[in-house]
Structure formats: structure tokens, C-alpha cells
Amino acid sequence: MRSKFWPLRDIPAVFWLVALLVVTLVHPFVAASGWLMIHLLLLGAVTHSIMVWSSHFAETLLHAPTDATQRRRQSWRLALLNGGAAVVVAGMVAGTWGLTLAGACLVAAAVAWHGAALVHRLRRALPSRFRPLVRYYIVAALCLPVGAGLGATAAYGLADPLHDRFVLAHVAVNVLGWIGLTVVGTLVTLWPTMLRTRISEGAERAAYRALPVLVGAVVVTAAGALSGLTHLAAAGVLGYLGGLALVAPSFVTAARAKPPAAYPTWSVLAAMVWLAGSLVALTVAVASAPSWAEAGARLSWLTAPLAAGFGAQVLLGALSYLVPVVLGGGPAAVRAANTEFERAGALRITVINGGLLVCVLPVPSVVRVLCSVLVLVGLAAFLPLMFRGMRASRRIKVNPPPPSTRKDRAGPAVGAVAGRRGGLATGLTIVVLAVAAGVAADPTALGVTGSVPTVQASGETTRVEVAARDMRFTPSRIEVPAGNRLIIELTNTDEQDVHDLVLETGQRSDRLAPGASATVDAGVIGRHVAGWCSIVGHRQMGMVLDIVVTGTDAPEQDAAGQHDMGGHAPSAATRAGSADSAAADLDFMAAPGPQFTAHDPALAPLEDATVHRHTFTAQELDRDVAPGVAQHLWTFNGTAPGPTLHGKVGDVFEITLVNDGTIGHSIDFHAGSLAPDQPMRTIKPGESLVYRFTANRAGIWMYHCSTMPMSAHIANGMFGAVIIDPPNLPPVDHSYVLVQSELYLGPQHGTVDVNALQAEKPDAVVFNGYANQYDHRPLTARVGERVRIWVLAAGPNRAAAFHIVGGQFDTVYAEGAYQLRPDGGAGGSQTLGLVPSQGGFVELVFPEAGHYPFVSHAMIDAERGAHGIIEVTD
């Protein structure tokens, strides 16, 4: 491969890695960020690199240099590949399946063309020792078009569990087939070359025997997934491990002859360890999964080891070795580049792999976040070091050093491995400090308790199995002899909802997906202890646990309080004080900053299409709801209210709901009439469903999350409007949409205060999600223009009384029927009254220029945020 700059070869991989870094840093604010991070790495950077380097290695192994025509065609293939990948990404982010499909077709075409070019080269090449290794690249190229088709099909919005099965098949064909086969075939020769040792005898024969085993394993895994046979899929993964075992001895022999001593070889070795470990875990996970839904959840858990542990590390390790070689310039230039690429190698390897290992363990979320940041920093260090290495190489080329002696031959820089013990120790220290910082930030997450037993330990252990289901723990009361140690075996037997268990003494479980289990060691029990599910709203729904000590004179309730919440009243712990509310920071007279952008109230024009396809992503992110007040909202597509859909009677709406949150979510469209069992079901994080309905009746219809507790999900932002125009609706000059809702503020950047919600004590009532926003960014109209304002009362608790100060409505449409028309009569209307979930529209013409306030005429609501201005000019 020539070192001369070749844009289509050299730039895209760097672009994809930079894009990955940016998305990772801002992922809470990006739609489909989980999918995006995986595919920017694997579809973008890794796939581009495979196309480039497999051509290079095929050229080397076959002794067939690339001519100008072949290079030009390779440029076309790379352009087609990267363009297709960009279209796939755009389609997924925009929620447009047609774009996703088109991009997948372009990617598949580019890789198929690449495979055909390799076949052509292989047929024309003379026999050589490593000629059969090119078949790995050819078979891998056959895998990707199949995997792209499976991925595009999964993206269409298949219902579960079919979606989970297609995802596993997609992973098997693309990760194990396209990427895995390429890596294995390349490392047969590249691994000993990186180690600077001889290729072991028989390495090529072992690779020849392993290829059909690996390919067969990929086929069996995909077939098992598509057919719904978990044990067949697990057998396929196990078979892949068997194929790796056939080539492993040659890799081990090379490593024993010359142990890894620098970042590139450490990184590749770590990548292969992560691949093997992930495949072992995947085999067990799929084989033991009680359902495909659980298998899909377990596959999601293995995404990080496969993508970051295997994919990222094998890519960065290989590039750290190959780029200095390709840059060339003689031994001194290669040595200078190596020095930069291998800088802090031991530290980076330790931080990346130590941090990643912590991330995949059942650790508190704060610990996981801190360690994931370490992993990101360790991997991202490649980019600045790459540029430093390129600059160092160029500097040597421009100013060559004196003639080198024999010991100055190109190879690893003299200091490349110096201080690796110090780097290892420093890396371990950083990881340990991150874990300690996470525990310090959330000490209860590791079961650190401030409770000291008031009785002597008996030495006995009480074990109790507790099931979490339907907003209840069963049993909800546990009696424990005083002094006994209590072990709770908690299982989430719910079909969709995530649950956990937190004890007032500090011990807690992780959040458990349906079917998952955890053990909570409550310690020695010397008094009554309260427990609850910490998922927002679950505790208030009655999901509580009482641990009652027997054999002492302890009262039934401790100082935390008495049960007193009626049918939903849990234990004393439920009444414990909550965190400070952001309501203390509310100032309804304050103005938002100059960069504030109001929620667009304008109704989008009606489209000609009769079928409307949209992707709604459930996202949990921080948003301002008033000047100086931010909440961690649950949203559809990042806004509260969510997107307003607009259609006409008879139109079909096909909504793909993707849960990118941390708990279960769902959606209920009032605009459709259908059985709720499947389309309105709660889906777990990472899952998706397709909701298809026909709009048979006109009106403004509410949609919302219907996961329990529904009040909390709506109050925390999961609602929106669907507007179906009445037949023959007259045109107007302006059409606006206002959705009224309430805010029950938790702490700054916290979630809804469910206690205030249950007490029906809102802190603010707002239009379109932000208090008084249209006082500062008014709606506009001109004198004599007809204005239509659609209004929806989203609640969840309070009615709306929509009124425009200084205006009179000559048209009122509510709940599917006209109550008043501008037919020349003398009647008018002053207020549109709507109970929660009802909607309609009003029309009026403003008689003169001025500023017309619009409010909820429940005046306390107008005074706490339900207020705006219509600015009318001549």
C-alpha cells in the first residue's frame, strides 16, 4: 500500500471515529444514540478499515500489486460504502426506514463488489503459501450483504420477539461473519508480524481447517435465531468458539516466541480475549434464556464487550501498528511514529480493559458511568496520538537523521515498553479510584448501611424468595427472627416492567429486567426495615416491602412513620422526606435567556400522503421547563409534548416506538380504535414495537405513555397530540397548537415528584411544556386574519379553560363536533373548557393591533405558567 495521501482511503475511518467520539459525549441528546454509537464504530470505522486493509493484505498475500484501474475502482467502492453508511445513519436518526433500507443496499453493493474483486484477484494469482487466507475475506464479504438485509429488516419495526431474533441473526452474520472472519484470517499473518517473530508452522493449514467451521457456526447461529430455536443459536455460537480454538495454537505459539510488549499487540490480544469471553457468555445467555425477549436483553448487555472490547481494540491495535509502516520513510521515521502510537500503552490498555470489565459487572450506575468515561478516554487517546505519530514521521522525512547503525533498524521505539509496570499500576489505580468515587457518590448502591443491629447476631440465616410483579412484592411482608441475617432472592417476574429493591438501611439491588434475578443481603436484622421499588412512581403505587423482626419487643413501626396511604399506602419508608424540589427556584416573572427557543406552536401543513410513518424514540434527558428550572424528563423524540401528528380522516399512521430509556415505556394513541393488548404494551429498554392505526374520526387526540404509574409517565413528559382535520375544514391564516399540562417538580435535573402528583398539587401549569414561554416568544397574527388555535388538555389531572383576553371566539369545535360556527348569528364564545385528554379548536379574528394574552381561566393556573401572548399587528 502506497504511503501517498489517498483521501478515500485515509479520511473516512478518522471521520467515523471522530463522529463516534462526538456522539458518545452528547448521546443523552441524540436520537437512537445507543444504536448510533455501535454502528458509527462497526459499520463506519471498522467496515471501512476492513475494505481498505483486506485489499492491502490480499495484494500482499497474492503478490498482485494494485494498478491504477484497480485503485480507481477501489475508490468507487469506498465512496459507495461510506455514502451508504451515512445514509443508513441518517435514516435511523430521522426514523425514515426507506433511507435506512437504501443505505443498507448501498453498503451491501459496495461490499459485494469488493468480494467480487477479491475473487477475480484470487483466480489470477499464482499459487503461494498464504493464498487460501484470501478466502476468509471473500466469505466475509458474502456475509455482510446478508447481515445488512437482516439489520434493515429489524429496523423496519418488527414486533417482539421476532425483532430480537432478527437482531441476533444480524449480529451473528455481521460481527462474527463480516468482522470476525476478516480478523481471524488477517491475524494468521499479521499477529506474528506485529510481534516480529516467525509465523508458526502449520498456521495456514489450521486456518484452512477452521474456515468451514467458523462459517458453519455463523450459519447455524443465524438459522437458530431466525427459527426461534435458542439452543440451536447457542450451539452455533459454541461452534464458532470451536473454530477459534483451531487457529488459537498458532497465535499462542507466536506470542510465546515473542510476548506482546507494546500497545498494538496488547490491544489486539485484549480484543481476542474479549471476543472469546463474550462468545462464552453469549452461549450461556442464549441457551439459558427463558424467552427470546430475555435473550435479546442479554445480547444488549454483551454489546459493550463485543463493540468496545473486541471491535474497537482490534481496530486501534492494528492501526497503531500498520499506520507507521504505511507512512514509511525509513527506519527512523517508522520508529518516531511508533513512539507516538505506543505512548502510554500500558496505561491505556489497563484503563480501557479494567474500566470495561467494571462496566460489565453488576456495579452501581455511578460507578459504571465513571468507568465508561475512562474507557472512552483510553480509546479516544488514539486520535491525538495518531496525529502526533504522523507529524513525527513527516518531521523525520523532512529532516533525516544521520545514517543509522544496525541497531537503529525499524522496529519498536526503544522506550515503547519502558515503564510498562508503572503504566499498569497507574491504570489500575485510576480504575480503583473511579470505583471508589462512584461508591462515595452513591454509598447505598453497594449496600453500605448506616443501620447497626440492636441485637446480637444469632449466626442463623433466613433466606426468602421475593417476586416483583404488577407493582407488588410477593410476599410483601417478611418475618425474621431477631439477630438472623436476611438474604432476599429477588426475581422480576413481570413481563415488561423493570423493577428493583431498595432497603431503608441502604442495601439495594440493581434494576432488573423481566426474568432477571438478584440477591440482596439485608444483613443482621435487629429492627423493622422498610423496602421499596425505586423506579419512579412504583413505590407510590404500593410496591413496598416490610421486614418485620420477631422475638423482640420492637414496635411494628419505627420512627419513619405509620402506614397511611389508603389502598396504595406502603410502609413507613414511603412517607420519608424527598429531595429538595426545584419549585423553590420557580420565578414566574423571570425571562428565559437570549438563546431560548420556544416550542414551535405552528401546526405543520397537511401532507398529501395517506400513510404516515414515524419513529418515536422514548428518551430520558434533561430539559428546561421554566427559567432556571431543569427536569429529567421522559420524552418522545426529546420534547415534551412530543411531535404533533397531522392527518385527515382515513389516513393510516404507522409509528415505530423505540425505547431508548432505562425503564419500560409504551404509547397509547387515542386517535386509533383497536385492541390495546399488543400495540400499547410496555416495552423494555432497547426494544421496539410498531403501532399502526387508521384515523377514522376527526379531532385533536391525545397520545401518551400508558405504562404504570401512568400519571407519572404523563406528568414527566410522555404525551402529545394527533390532529385529524374535520372534512372540508376551511383554510385559515394561522393555525396553532397548544397542549396544556402540569409540572410536579422534583429536584433540579430530577424526575417528577410523585407525592405532589398524587396529592394533585402542581407547581406549574404550562402550554407546550414550558412556563410562560409565549409571553417571551409571542404567537403572531395581523388585524383581520383568521386564527385557529387547537387546544389539548393533557393533564394528567387538571382541566383546561382556554381563554383569550380581549378576544371572542366565533367558532368552537370540541371533541369531534362544532359547538359554534361563524354562520352570521349573534352567538359567540369566551372559553373552551376541556377535561384531561379532551381537545378542540377555536377560531377568531382580531379587531385591532395589540397584545392579547391567552390563559387558562382557572386563574391560579394562569398565574403559575399557563399564560402567553398573541401579538397582533396592522
Q: Let me know whether 50 and 161 are in one domain.
A: yes
Return the CA Rg of the chain.
31
339 and 359 housed in the same domain = yes
Say yes or no: 251 and 334 in one domain: no
502-506, 593-597, 866-870, range with the lowest pLDDT: 502-506
- Greater model confidence, 413 or 254: 254
593 inside domain: no
Helices (H), 800-866: 859-862
Give residue-wise pLDDT tens across range 205-232: 999 999 999 999 999 999 999 999 999 9
Residue 584, domain member (yes or no): no
Distances (CA, A) of 379 to 93, 163, 321: 24, 31, 15
Residues 624 and 724 in one domain: yes
Cell numbers standing for residue 296: 435479546
Q: Which of 143, 44, 152 is nearest to 91 (CA)?
A: 152
Of the two residues 803 and 121, the one the predictor is more confident about is 803
Assess whether 335 and 317 both reside in one domain. Answer: no
Provide the residue range defining the domain that includes 729: 611-873
Q: Per-residue pLDDT tens for 464-510?
A: 999 998 888 999 899 999 888 899 999 999 887 888 999 988 788 88
Only one residue has cell 440493581, namely 510
Q: What is the mean pLDDT of residues 120-136?
A: 85
Q: What are 714's three cell numbers? A: 404523563
**DSSP structure string for 291-313:** SHHHHHHHHHHTHHIIIIIIIIH
Q: Is residue 585 pLDDT above 60, yes or no?
A: yes
For residues 708 and 679, give the distance between their C-alpha atoms in angstroms, rounded to a whole number: 16
Residue 514 has pLDDT above 90, yes or no: no
Residues 769-785: what's their mean pLDDT?
A: 95
Please indicate, yes or no, whether residues 318 and 338 belong to a single structural domain of this protein.
no
pLDDT value for 205 = 92
Q: What is the CATH number of the domain that holds 208?
A: 1.20.210.10
**Mean pLDDT for the stretch of residues 24-37:** 76
184-202 average pLDDT score: 92
My answer on whether 502 and 623 are in the same domain is: no
Question: pTM (2 decimals)?
Answer: 0.58
Task: Pick out the residues of the known binding site for Cu cation.
Answer: 665, 670, 704-705, 713, 718, 857
Grid cell of 466 as nine digits:
421475593
Of the candidates 800, 816, 813, 812, the residue with the CA atom closest to the CA atom of residue 867: 800
Q: Is 587 a domain residue?
A: no
The answer as to whether 45 is a domain residue is: yes
241 and 361: one domain?
no
pLDDT value of residue 282: 93
Instruction: Identify whether residues 395 and 369 lie together within a single domain.
Output: yes
Parallel, antiparallel, or unpaired: how do β-strands 485-492 and 461-469 relate?
Answer: parallel
Q: What's the whole-number mean pLDDT along residues 793-810?
A: 95
Could you read off the pLDDT of 536-583 as tens digits, one per residue?
Answer: 778 877 789 999 988 765 444 443 333 333 333 333 333 333 447 888
pLDDT: which is higher, 302 or 773:
773
Q: State the residue for C-alpha cell 471498522.
A: 46
pLDDT at 696 over 80: yes
- Domain ends where: 301, 327, 353? 327
Burial of 127 (0-12, 13-18, 19+ CB in 10 A): exposed
Q: What is the torsion angle, in degrees rounded to the nearest 10, for the CA atoms of residue 193, residue 194, residue 198 and residue 199? A: -70
pLDDT average, residue stretch 246-265: 93
What average pLDDT is seen over the chain?
A: 87
Q: Could you give the CA distance from residue 319 to residue 19 in angstroms, rounded to a whole number?
A: 18
The predicted pLDDT at position 575 comes to 30
* Number of residues assigned to the chain: 874
Cis peptide before 627 (omega within 30 of 0): no
Residue 459 belongs to domain with CATH number: 2.60.40.420
Question: Do 289 and 418 sit in the same domain of this protein?
Answer: no
624 burial type by CB count under 10 A (0-12 exposed, 13-18 middle, 19+ buried): middle
Write the pLDDT tens digit of every residue in 56-86.
888 888 887 777 888 889 899 999 999 999 9
The answer, yes or no, to whether residue 832 has pLDDT greater than 50, is yes
> Rounded mean pLDDT of 353-360?
91
Rounded CA separation 612/692 (Å): 10
The dihedral built from the CA positions of residue 642, 646, 650 and 654, taken in this order, carries a sign that is negative
Residue 586 domain-assigned (yes or no): no
Q: How far apart are CA 674 and CA 676, in angstroms?
A: 6
Question: What band does 705 get if pLDDT is binned at 50, 70 and 90?
Answer: very high
- Do both 722 and 798 map to the same domain? yes
Both 107 and 138 in a single domain? Answer: yes
Distance CA 351, CA 196 (A): 26
Q: Cβ neighbours of residue 787 under 8 Å, at least 6 residues apart?
A: 732, 733, 734, 735, 736, 781, 843, 844, 845, 846, 870
pLDDT above 50: residue 330: yes
Instruction: Give the end of a domain, one of 311, 327, 343.
Output: 327
Phi-psi map region of 742: left, alpha, beta (phi>0 left; psi -120 to 50 alpha): beta
Burial of 462 by CB count in 10 Å (0-12 exposed, 13-18 middle, 19+ buried)?
middle
Closest CA to 313 of 343, 271, 278, 261: 271
**Cell matching residue 775:** 409571553
- Tell me, yes or no, whether 405 lies in a domain: no
Asked if the model's pLDDT at residue 198 lies above 80, the reply is yes
Q: Which of 271, 297, 327 is the last residue of a domain?
A: 327
Residue 429 or residue 423, greater confidence: 429
Residue with cell 401518551: 704
Query: What average pLDDT does range 104-127 have in this prediction?
Result: 91
- The number of distinct structural domains making up the chain is 4
Q: How confident is the model at residue 31 (pLDDT cuts 50, 70, 90)?
A: low
| H or E element, residue 737 | strand 734-743
pLDDT, position 4 = 65
Shortest CA distance to 147 belongs to which of 116, 112, 184, 187?
A: 112
What confidence score (pLDDT) does residue 554 get? 47
pLDDT tens, residue by residue, 271-283: 999 999 999 999 9
Report the pLDDT value the prediction gives residue 369, as an integer from 0 to 100: 82
Q: What is the mean pLDDT of residues 29-36?
A: 73
CA angle, 455 then 458 then 460, to 5°: 135
**557 Cβ contact list (under 8 Å, min separation 6):** 528, 563, 572
Q: What is the pLDDT of residue 8?
A: 78
Residues making up the annotated binding site are 665, 670, 704-705, 713, 718, 857
Query: What's the CA gap between 266 and 346, in Å, rounded?
Result: 8
- Which whole number is the average pLDDT over 347-365? 88
Residue 808: CB atoms within 10 A of its CB come to: 12
Confidence of residue 93 (pLDDT cuts 50, 70, 90): confident
| Residue 602 belongs to some domain of the structure | no
Flag whether 600 is in a domain. Answer: no
Percentage of the chain with pLDDT > 70?
Answer: 91
